[in-house]
Each structure stands twice: as structure tokens, then as C-alpha cells.
Amino acid sequence: MSTAVNLTELREGGVQDVPSVAAIMQAAFDPRYGEAWTNAQCLGMLSLPGVWLVVASVDGVDSGFALSRSTGDEAELLLLATRPAARRRGVAGALLRAVIAEARARDVEKLHLEVRAGNDAVRLYRREGFEKVGERRAYYRGKTGQVFDAQTFSRTLA
Ligand SMILES: CC(C)(COP(=O)(O)OP(=O)(O)OC[C@H]1O[C@@H](n2cnc3c(N)ncnc32)[C@H](O)[C@@H]1OP(=O)(O)O)[C@@H](O)C(=O)NCCC(=O)NCCS
């Protein structure tokens, strides 16, 4: 008899994880929407003050990550992704809660994020207490030049 137990472990990442993050990003983001970043963008962001990376491994395979940045009492979730093969097992939820915990530890009072209108992630963000606070028209530009609106969400951290 086999048991389907997946062990998700979270760790703090760094520049050494950029190849892994890039691989997850390539697999996770649909190029139609223009949401993914380049390796250079990830590397550049990781060298900025206040930026932190959380990597999730499932059964020993790096399968998800969250990239965030805090400045003063505000923070932004910049990227959140899970490999297709590891989805709907709570990986992104665990990453998001780890981001919230770290933001609290940094005395952050408001956590913001931007997401493409219609992205499945909106359900996760609402479930974790985020509320829509604004819209940005034509924020994302996909591979074929088509543009997509973004929605801004934020959550107060008590
Ligand atoms: C969005 C994304 C990060 C979710 O990752 P995940 O590890 O599968 O998420 P979880 O298993 O933690 O799901 C949490 C909740 O999000 C919602 N959700 C996630 N994927 C969904 C889907 N395909 N359809 C509907 N709801 C979905 C559900 O409410 C889900 O809870 P449930 O499984 O109990 O119903 C993943 O699909 C992904 O990498 N997408 C591409 C990258 C992206 O768009 N990132 C977000 C913007 S930066």
C-alpha cells in the first residue's frame, strides 16, 4: 500500500537559488501574460536591501518560491510561483504565510501585491486576508504584445 504524503519544506533562499528560482519561474508562468522575470531581474532584486526569498521544496525538489521586499513598515510580495507538478497541495499557501510571518517579524504593517486580473492566485490572496485596493490598466505585456490589467491587493498585518 502506498501513501500519498508530500513533505513541503520552506527555507530562506539567496542568490545561490536564482537558477532554481528561474527554472520554477519558467515552468510556472504562462508566457502569454508577461508576468515572469528574467534571471537578471531576479539577481538584481536580490541584491537590493530589504529583499527576501523563500523557497519551497516538495519531497526534496525545489517546487515553489516567494520573493518579497520590505521598506520601512510596508512590504510587497513581488513574485509567488509553484511548479505545475506540485500545485493544489498548499505550497503557495505555505509560502504566503511564511512571507506574512517574516513581514510581521520586520514590523511591517501593510503587505501589498499586484496580480494579473483573472489569475487563479486571486482566490488564494483573498483567502489569506488580502483585499483589492486598486487597478492598473495594461500593466502586463505578454509575449505577443497583448496587454493585461493588474489588480492591487493589500493586507494589514496586526
Ligand atoms: C497561483 C499559484 C502560485 C498557486 O500555487 P499552488 O501551490 O497550487 O497554490 P495552493 O495549493 O497553495 O492553493 C491555494 C489556493 O489558491 C486557489 N487556487 C490555486 N490554484 C487555483 C486554480 N488553478 N484554480 C482555482 N483556484 C486556485 C485555491 O483557492 C487554492 O486552495 P484549494 O486548493 O484549497 O482550493 C500557481 O498556480 C502558480 O505558480 N501560478 C503561476 C504563477 C502565478 O501566477 N503566480 C501568482 C502571481 S505572482
What is the Cα 157 distance to its own chain's centre?
A: 18
Domains of the chain listed by start with CATH number: 8-156 (3.40.630.30)
Span 11-30, pLDDT tens digits: 999 999 999 999 999 999 99
Span 32-75, pLDDT tens digits: 888 889 989 999 999 999 999 999 999 999 999 999 999 999 99
Q: Which atom of ligand 1 is nearest to the CA of 94?
A: 12
Dist. CA 79 → ligand 1 center (Å) = 13
Who has greater pLDDT, 138 or 152? 152
Alpha-carbon distances of 106 from 103, 111, 124, 148, 149, rounded to whole Å: 5, 11, 23, 33, 31
Sheet of strand 51-58: strand arrangement:
8-13, 51-58, 61-71, 74-82, 110-116, 147-156, 131-141
Dist. CA 33 → ligand 1 center (Å) = 16
Among protein residues, the one whose CA lies closest to atom 10 of ligand 1? 90
- HSE-CB for 148 with a 13 A CA cutoff: 19
